[in-house]
Chains A and B, each alone.
Chain A
Amino acid sequence: MTKKFNCILLIDDDEATNYIHRKVIEEVDCAEKVVIAQSGQEALDFLNGKENDPNSPIDLIFLDINMPAMNGWEFLEHYKNLDSSKKAKGVLIMLSTSLNPDDHGNASKIDVVDGFQTKPLTEEKMIRIHKNHFS
């Protein structure tokens, strides 16, 4: 890979999913760094915290819709109000296992959301996302 994402943030409550996604990203070798948050709150804490390093900005966020306590939609409400320096420099993609087409529709209505993918993330999907981002 010539160009890589500086940092990818994975937000999902399911440990196995996060594991798989990290593995896919590593296989495709498209990111310098992968950060995992197991809840919306954890993700917000990360974005607001010191670990959100401007030298290694977040270029891509994968956000799960169905999570306990703060779900994907609620996370987006908080995310919108974040200082722009703390937001991702690149895109935010929503993820869902659900086959409900409403989720896709709802996702496309939100400005900060750049895409919608069904879980799990595969290498093909990751390559396509990478290509779209750097072309």
Chain B
Amino acid sequence: MVIGSIRNRLLLGFGTLIFVLLINIVLTQIASRESTATYEELRTEIVPTITMLDEYREVNKELFLLSLNKVFGRQSDEQYTNRMKAITEVVLPHFKTKVFLLTQSLPPNDKKIKISENIIKLSNRSITIVKEINNLLLTRVDYDNTQRIGQVTQKANLDLSDLTQQIDNNLSLLQKEYNTRYDAHQTALSKELHNLSGIIFLIGIIGILLGLGIASGIINSIVRPINALQTSALQLSNGNFDVMVKTKGKDELSLLGHSFNNMAESLQKNFEEIKRKNKELEQFVYIASHDLQEPLRTLSSFTSLLEKEYPIEKDENSSTYVRFINEATKRMSRLVKGLLDYSRIGSTKELSEVDCNTLIMGVEDDLALTIGDTETILTIGNLPTIKGYTTELRLLFQNLISNAIKFRAKNRSPHISISAEIIPGFWKFSVKDNGIGIENQFHERIFAIFQRLHNQSEYKGTGIGLAHCRKVVEMHGGKIWVESIPTVGSTFYFTISNKQ
């Protein structure tokens, strides 16, 4: 595969974009993992700890209040005792364990360890005191024991009250620590999330810019040569064969450019060949017009001399021979002239406004002698002014009119009517005669060059006239055809484009 081909360039471009997107995803993943860790710590450690400490404080206060009620409210119900037992034997040990576990995960110098240890120690003492109170006040009778009441009152009022206060203070201290941590984490989390969105935004922008850059690079590298090709093709179609497309690299478009250059080159060669051939043809036409006519003129001059200076009327053979020579010479001369005219049609291409009425009048003047001799009646309708080649159009009408006269019926003088009508996109002309007509089978053939339907002895001619007409009509974007009834007459129709 060719390196730097469009295919590879596209693959490289899309590959880069995909790579940038992958980097984006990975970076986002890393950044969000950090935030997730912070959030997880908040969710699984800090918040539950704060909640647990709240509950601890509640339970601690409850135990103190229960104890006061037990002592001063003389509440010795089993319900009370059981709740106190539950707190001292289950709930508080549970919280203590939790606080202890907290200390395990902390670094050794953390001041929270000291606070926690205090809490556990103080809680142990308060549990002991509560148990002592319970043991002193087992039954209703115990309340009547003044000494016991005195002991209990002191324990509850002084010791337990003090302890509860201290525990609560410590718990509050610990809570404060965790609240601080909570705030710190909260701040960190929001900061991390902010950073994360910043990273995503930044990488996104970089990705988009990179993508735009790559896309425009690739588009340019494809579009530029195509534009160059298009410009060159346009120049080429305008006939400038020297165009060359500059090609760089070895991609598909460069190859196309190379092929284009080759094509332009071979076109140029062919065009030059055609030009050369045309020159040759022009040369040929010149030879036909001059060099071929020259010996023919000599032939006819000398046969005239022969006839004049050696009267040969008495020798039938000689006069026949001279007649044949004369006829052949004239025919040859006509053929050469016809060929020359045929090849010249359209060589001086100049479109102009042609008034067909004036044109026909000119033709009538040219053919005046023939028209007079044959007593031809020409009926000219109202003809349009068209855009065309004057000389050629004149030749067209002249050929058709002189054909109509030439192929006249023996028993009547020629009547020719010329008219025109407009049909979509064209002017349609008709040249109608009352001559000998043409059989159906020859309606196509008569328009081919050198095709004749009669012997020279019947009608002189070269077989070029109608070929001429067809060439002229085709030059004007039209068609020519004939409709005819043998012995009655023919109508030649032709169309001339009225566009432009």
Residues of A within 8 A of B (CB): 13-16, 19, 38-39, 68-69
Contacts and interface: CB of A to CB of B under 8 A. Distances in A.
A10 B454 CA distance: 17
Given A16-B324, A16-B327, A19-B324, A69 B456 contact: no
A81 to B, nearest CB: 16
Interface of B is mostly: loop
B453 interface: yes
A13 B450 CA distance: 14
B455 A68 contact: yes
A-B complex: 8 closest residue pairs judged by Cβ atoms: A68-B452, A16-B324, A69-B453, A13-B455, A38-B455, A68-B453, A15-B457, A68-B454
B320 interface: yes
B456 A13 contact: yes
B334 to A, nearest CB: 15
B454 A69 contact: yes
A39 B455 contact: yes
A14 B327 CA distance: 11
22 contacts: A13-B455, A13-B456, A14-B455, A15-B455, A15-B456, A15-B457, A16-B324, A16-B327, A16-B328, A19-B320, A19-B324, A38-B457, A39-B455, A68-B452, A68-B453, A68-B454, A68-B455, A68-B463, A69-B442, A69-B452, A69-B453, A69-B454
A121 to B, nearest CB: 16
Given A13-B455, A15-B455, 14 more contacts: A13-B456, A15-B324, A15-B456, A16-B327, A16-B328, A68-B451, A68-B452, A68-B453, A68-B454, A68-B463, A69-B442, A69-B452, A69-B453, A69-B454
Interface string B432-467: 000000000010000000011111110000010000
Interface string B32-72: 00000000000000000000000000000000000000000
Interface in B452-495: 452-457, 463
Contacts of A15: 324, 455-457
A93 B463 CA distance: 26
Interface string B323-365: 0100110000000000000000000000000000000000000
Nearest to B325: A16
B32 to A, nearest CB: 90
Contacts of A39: 455
A69 B463 CA distance: 11
A134 to B, nearest CB: 30
Contacts of A69: 442, 452-454
Contacts of B327: 16
Nearest to B450: A66
B316 to A, nearest CB: 12
B133 to A, nearest CB: 143
A68 B450 CA distance: 9
B192 to A, nearest CB: 97
Interface in B81-105: none
Contacts of B454: 68-69
B442 A14 contact: no
Nearest to A39: B455
Contacts of B457: 15, 38
A71 to B, nearest CB: 9
Contact of A14 (B320, B456, B463): B456
Nearest to A69: B453
Nearest to A74: B441
Nearest to B463: A68
Nearest to B459: A68
A18 to B, nearest CB: 10
A26 to B, nearest CB: 12
**Considering residues B324, B442, B455, B457, which has the most beta carbons from chain A within 10 angstroms of its beta carbon?**
B455
B296 to A, nearest CB: 16
A119 to B, nearest CB: 13
Nearest to A38: B455
A16 to B, nearest CB: 4
A22 B452 CA distance: 24
Contacts of B455: 13-15, 38-39, 68
A14 B456 CA distance: 7
**Considering residues B328, B442, B456, B463, which has the most beta carbons from chain A within 10 angstroms of its beta carbon?**
B456
A47 B495 CA distance: 44
Nearest to B442: A69
Contacts of B324: 15-16, 19
Interface in B167-186: none
**Considering residues A14, A19, A68, A69, which has the most beta carbons from chain B within 10 angstroms of its beta carbon?**
A68
B28 to A, nearest CB: 85
Contacts of B451: 68
A37 to B, nearest CB: 10
A68 B328 CA distance: 17
Interface in B375-430: none
B445 to A, nearest CB: 9
B252 to A, nearest CB: 48
Contacts of A14: 455-456
